[in-house]
């Protein structure tokens, strides 16, 4: 789905407000004021907050498959180098889009969100699993990855480590002297990424 400039401006504001105030704590009036757009125009483009969230998910996750495919099909890299690149891409993407991930994780786990269509989100999770599964199975056939891998838990291992760190920043900030946005980004894209890469490669090549 293509979004025009005004829609993108609204979705950027929606992402900020939903992340800071929560879905229920954000009103259409607040969104219109922050985006400097008439409230009628906000309703015209999206209709409701539920539709805004669905559109935001589509906007932020639209090009994911293309990025993943490009890395997985890069024959100039071996299987261990490619898994490093995949993890690097995932961490950078999650860091950049951490607001939408925070929103979606909270709202998707809420049983009261029956009016929100999470199909785009669920479809992408299924698609990502299928891509990773095929990639790992190819690596197994090539004799690089172990046959004894619980493929369904590879992505949760990556995401779980990242989000545990992200949602406990106050603790890790003191532990690793992270005192501003620049140091947070640097730590995330270097030290944390390298740790996750080492962990996943150990899982993929462990023969036990």
- 88 and 131 in a single domain? The answer is yes
- 36 and 103 in a single domain? The answer is no
Mean pLDDT of the chain: 88
pLDDT tens digits along 51-69: 888 888 888 776 777 788 8
* Tokens, residue 79: 């299987």
Q: Burial of 145 by CB count in 10 Å (0-12 exposed, 13-18 middle, 19+ buried)?
A: buried
Look at residues 57, 74, 89 and tell me which one is the last residue of a structural domain: 57
Q: How far apart are CA 88 and CA 80, in angstroms?
A: 12
Number of structural domains in the chain? 2
Q: What confidence tier does 134 reach under pLDDT thresholds 50, 70, 90?
A: very high
Q: What share of the chain is helix, strand, coil (3-state, %, to 5)?
A: 75, 0, 25
Structure confidence at residue 79 (pLDDT): 95
- 45 and 144 in a single domain? The answer is no
CATH number at residue 149: 1.10.357.10
- 28 and 80 in a single domain? The answer is no
- 68 and 165 in a single domain? The answer is yes
CATH number at residue 11: 1.10.10.60
Please answer whether residues 71 and 89 qualify as being in contact, where contact means their C-beta atoms are separated by less than 8 angstroms: yes
**Domain assignment of residue 41, given as a range:** 5-57
For range 37-41, the mean pLDDT = 89
Q: Which residue has the tokens 């891509």?
A: 131
Q: How far apart are CA 129 and CA 127, in angstroms?
A: 5
- 110 and 46 in a single domain? The answer is no
- 168 and 66 in a single domain? The answer is yes
For range 14-22, the mean pLDDT = 87
- 74 and 173 in a single domain? The answer is yes
pLDDT tens digits along 140-193: 999 999 999 999 999 999 999 999 999 999 999 999 999 999 999 999 999 999
Structure confidence at residue 114 (pLDDT): 58
Residue 31 pLDDT > 70, yes or no?
Answer: yes
Residue 23 pLDDT > 70, yes or no?
Answer: yes
Q: How far apart are CA 62 and CA 84, in angstroms?
A: 22
Structure confidence at residue 96 (pLDDT): 85
Q: What confidence tier does 112 reach under pLDDT thresholds 50, 70, 90?
A: low
Q: How far apart are CA 50 and CA 31, in angstroms?
A: 13
Q: What confidence tier does 111 reach under pLDDT thresholds 50, 70, 90?
A: low
* Alpha carbon of residue 202 to chain centroid: 23
- 38 and 84 in a single domain? The answer is no
């Amino acid at each position: 789905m293509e979004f025009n400039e005004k829609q993108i401006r609204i979705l950027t504001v929606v992402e900020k407000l939903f992340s800071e105030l929560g879905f229920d704590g954000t009103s259409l009036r607040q969104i219109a004021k922050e985006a400097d757009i008439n409230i009628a125009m906000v309703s015209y483009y999206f209709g409701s907050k539920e539709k805004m969230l669905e559109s935001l998910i589509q906007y932020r996750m639209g090009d994911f498959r293309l990025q993943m495919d490009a890395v997985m099909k890069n024959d100039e890299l071996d299987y261990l180098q490619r898994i490093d690149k995949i993890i690097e891409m995932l961490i950078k993407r999650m860091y950049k889009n951490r607001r939408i991930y925070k929103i979606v994780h909270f709202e998707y786990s809420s049983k009261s969100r029956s009016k929100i269509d999470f199909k785009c989100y669920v479809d992408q999770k299924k698609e990502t699993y299928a891509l990773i599964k095929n990639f790992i199975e190819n690596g197994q056939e090539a004799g690089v990855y172990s046959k004894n891998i619980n493929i369904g838990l590879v992505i949760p291992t990556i995401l779980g480590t990242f989000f545990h760190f992200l949602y406990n920043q106050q603790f890790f900030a003191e532990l690793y002297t992270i005192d501003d946005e620049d140091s947070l980004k640097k730590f995330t894209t270097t030290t944390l990424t390298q740790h996750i890469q080492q962990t996943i490669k150990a899982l993929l090549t462990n023969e036990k």
